[in-house]
Structure 1
Amino acid sequence: MDPWRYSTEGISIALRVTPRGGRDDIDGIETLANGRSVVKVRVRAIAEGGEANRSVSELLAKVLGVPKARVRLLSGATSRLKQVAVDGDPRQLGETLKRLTATGKIEN
């Protein structure tokens, strides 16, 4: 099961974020102990003052090809588990996420 849901405005993505992860990257999909699927994301930024959240938003905007203003944190501001909304064409965003999580690498 994909860790994102489609809506008319875009998609909502479940994330597990690793701050101070050495690089900004998407590491694929992980199934948590409760059975929930999440996209694994690592960022260089520290989890202080919203730095990691900002880096996550910037990374998602870059890899999904949308402006930063279209990426919103829905929940999990102080947690590793986050829910993020991305506005745009849901089909295109979903296909891009499938490609990125299948390889586990960002295609620049």
Structure 2
Amino acid sequence: MAPTTYYSISLFFPEGIPGKIQYQQNDLELFLSANGKLTATAMAHLRSRELAERFLAAYLPRLQKRYKDGFEAKVGEWLSVRDNKRLSARIEKDSSLVEKRLETGVLASNVTP
């Protein structure tokens, strides 16, 4: 079986995590979920770097408004040495949700696109 590659968005807070989300992290790093929430464990698993970069570009103004210049964001590449159905299903589910959010412009995490 071939390895599976997927992409995510990491956010680093060099000055420390803002208080209301501090409980979620251990190492000054959080991820963006497919619903646009900052999370330590439920990062979006996206099928392509291009999709991840578009997702980050769409959310960047919201993140800058909320956290000013106190963070750094980047697209990361992940490689799973095992190809499994559960991971593939997660990549497809998250990628589909992100594409819908980008197409519709519905970026609020509490609204379904």
Q: Which protein is richer in strand relative to its size?
A: 1
Q: Which of 1 and 2 has greater Rg?
A: 2
